[in-house]
Structure 1
Amino acid sequence: MTLGSLFDGIGVFPLAGIHSGITPLWASEIEKIPVSITKRHFPGMEHLGDITALHGAEIPAVDVITFGSPCQNLSAAGNRTGLSGEKSSLYHHAIRIIKEMREATNGRFPVIAVWENVMGAFSSNDRMDFRAVLQSFADTGVPMPVSGRWAYAGMVRGRRPDVAWRLLDAQYWGKPRLPQRRRRIFLVADFGGERAGEILFRPGGVQPDSAACGPSGMSAPKRNRVPAEKTGREISGITVCPFQKIRMRGTAGRKDTNSFLGSFGKRGDPFPTILASDTNTFALWYGEEYKNGVIRDLMPVECERLMGLPENWTRYGADGREISDSARYRALGNAIALPCAEYIMRGIAEALGG
């Protein structure tokens, strides 16, 4: 089985594909730092460049196409202009490429398409954006839910492709589980059968340790991290409490004391979502005395751990030079949590492999 990755970022879908026995053939990405990172890890993967210049009939046909299209105009932290926004409208190029490839291969490829995006896609543009996404995949009209709100999981059946979606939160995935709150929509479209639900809703939330990365030569994430059930609680006298920095700033500006105090994390709280535009802050102290503590930002390698990625995945580019911390934070904030991607890729491998 083969994979093509649009809006590839730092290669999380290709990495998950390799862990699942699916070979990444090509990727499309325009950001220089992520391209350099993936060239280092996947030297045999072809880089196709700007998605707007691609034609689905002219690139290698693959079994699976994945894409996490830009979320800036869909996110609650963005301008909410939705799929018509300058960045998020690039989504339509991915749909075009999929259709062009299927037309050129008489409907054989791709067999599966996977779309990933922020939870805000459920509500942007008065909830019409997600309806447009479903309709673009299903190629048919999709009614709005009676409730007026999209469920966190659902299906569109009755014709090709078979479509299912599900909201996955990174904090409930991986082994050990990732102590980061990161909710993302994953949509699976099966053009060759009715396996979308089989791929997306199969049991088994906690995945086993990843196998070696294979052709990339990169090992799976080291499993020497603190167990998730202890993260955020007292560990040998050490207490860790993550902060909701954006909430802090907003409530401080409004002088909302109660909400401001609520932005301070408690023992056992997961880290807030890692963002491309900012670093995450937490407090760490010894014993019960706050005066024995410090407040600091997460280091890039800690962000990699929270994403379930191999340590130092983003540290070096293809030329062997170290990448700046700011560029690593940005790349990681735009990425997908690896255990969630692996769950999808393993489901695809099982469904297509029989």
Structure 2
Amino acid sequence: MNIKTVGSVCSGIEAASVAWEPLGLHFEWFSEIADFPSQVLASKYPSIPNLGDMNDIPSKISAKEIKAPDLICGGTPCQAFSLAGWKTGLNDDRGNLTLKFVDIIEANDNVRIKAGLPRTIVFWENVEGVLTDKTNAFGCLISSLAGLDTTIDNIRWPNSGIIYGPSRNVAWRVLDAKYFGLPQQ
């Protein structure tokens, strides 16, 4: 697949667009609600719309109000899965945005398939705590993305793996940020 267009949710200041710029990827839209990151996006990318609340994106894609890009990236809020947070998983509104991310991918896939295009490439990032979440958010995410009929349950997900499914194959890997020049683990 030749990836050319990207949509971004929970965009922050959009580090992905800076990292992927040398690859020639074009961002079609961002989705960020926090004030400061939204101001950064407006300043750095005035021609790319910030859609705001990601909850509205599936209907906008389905209605073709926004483009269904080749790739969708996002890092849904980590507080629900983080050691620094309450670890409430899908019982937290922020953790539940993981499922909304799946809704966005499904809406994007539907539009792309009807247009004779391949399914969406997905890039999702979060904290390692999502692998041990008691509500199995990670199992829900990867099972849905793979197109499985049932959710794979696992008490503790390994740090890397792959799931083969009828919709797409899903691979994951835990990377330690300290090995990439960042002062965190």
Assess same fold via TM > 0.5: yes
RMSD over aligned CA atoms reads 1.9
CA pair 139-84 structure 1, distance change in 2 beyond 3 A? farther
Larger radius of gyration: 1
Query: Paired residue for 1:162?
Result: 169
Determine the C-alpha separation between the residues in 2 that align with 1:156 and 1:65. Answer: 19
Q: How far apart are residue 18 of structure 1 and its match? A: 1.2
> Is 2:72–2:122's contact at 8 Å kept on the other side of the alignment?
yes
Determine the C-alpha separation between the residues in 1 that align with 2:67 and 2:14. Answer: 18
1:113 equivalent in alignment to 2:83: no
Determine the C-alpha separation between the residues in 2 that align with 1:88 and 1:51. Answer: 13
Give deviations 1:243-296, integer Å, cap 9, x for gaps: xxxxxxxxxxxxxxxxxxxxxxxxxxxxxxxxxxxxxxxxxxxxxxxxxxxxxx
Determine the C-alpha separation between the residues in 2 that align with 1:114 and 1:124. Answer: 20
Query: Paired residue for 2:20?
Result: 17
Q: What secondary structure does 1:28 align onto?
A: coil
> Is 1:123–1:129's contact at 8 Å kept on the other side of the alignment?
no
Structure 1 segments unaligned to the other structure (5+ residues): 183-354
Query: Paired residue for 1:77?
Result: 84
Q: What secondary structure does 1:47 align onto?
A: coil
> Is 2:144–2:151's contact at 8 Å kept on the other side of the alignment?
no
1:138 to 146, 151, 156: 146
Q: TM-score, normalized by length of structure 2?
A: 0.85
Tell me the percent identity.
Answer: 31
Structure 2 segments unaligned to the other structure (5+ residues): none
Determine the C-alpha separation between the residues in 1 that align with 2:137 and 2:111. Answer: 28
Query: Paired residue for 1:129?
Result: 137
Q: TM-score, normalized by length of structure 1?
A: 0.46
CA pair 17-123 structure 1, distance change in 2 beyond 3 A? same
Give deviations 1:105-135, integer Å, cap 9, x for gaps: 3262653011111111011116x22211211
Write the mapping of 1:293-304 to structure 2, written as runs, cut at 5 A: none
Which has the larger share of helix?
Answer: 2
Q: How far apart are residue 53 of structure 1 and its match? A: 2.1
Q: How far apart are residue 160 of structure 1 and its match? A: 2.5
Deviates more, 1:83-92 or 1:21-30: 83-92
